[in-house]
Amino acid sequence: MINCSIPERNSMLNVLAHSEYNFYLTGSRFFGGSTETSDWDFFTELNPKIEKFLESYHFVVKVIDAYCDTVYERVIDKNIIQIHIVDDIEMKKFAQLMLSNNSVLINKNTDKQHVRDIWRMTMQLTRELFQARKALRNK
């Protein structure tokens, strides 16, 4: 059961929205599969200042083994808000954009294991695209 009042949740979402840092919506609320009880998933860059900012609002590092993003570092969590810390923000944004343009792959009816498999494949392809682009630029 979710242990968070609506005003508390809205207050924390407001803090994130008006902070100096960029938090990008992801998960079911981004892809359109959320329900009233869905958590709020965001991602942001790996940056000690951002982590200190989140800790000042009582977010805590959560150990989660289920994520399959190759850019994923850790999750910082507070009640129903999870912030995914990633080491390559541009790669994560690109992969999410690719998936959001292909709603056949991920939608509200897609089971979680299938979503993980799709993310794993998308992140692998994205990493290879980014590496190929970098190699071409260095020629």
- CATH code of the domain in which 15 resides: 3.30.460
* pTM (two decimals): 0.83
Residues 85 and 75: their CA atoms lie apart, in Å, by 6
pLDDT for res 19? 96
Spatial neighbors of 116 by CB under 8 A, at least 6 apart, are 66, 67, 68
Confidence of residue 1 (pLDDT cuts 50, 70, 90): very low
- Given this model, what pLDDT does residue 33 score? 78
**Within a domain: residue 106?**
yes
Residue 36 resides in a domain: yes
Could you list the residue range(s) of the whole structural domain that residue 91 is in? 6-137
Has residue 71 been placed in a domain?
A: yes
Closest CA to 73 of 117, 43, 103: 43
Query: How many domains does the chain divide into?
Result: 1
pLDDT exceeds 60 at position 67: no
More confident residue, 51 or 3: 51
Within a domain: residue 1?
A: no
Structural contact between residues 44 and 83, judged by C-beta atoms closer than 8 angstroms: yes
For residues 116 and 30, which has the higher predicted lDDT (pLDDT)? Answer: 30
Residue 55 lies in a domain: yes
Looking at the domain assignment, is residue 22 inside a domain? yes
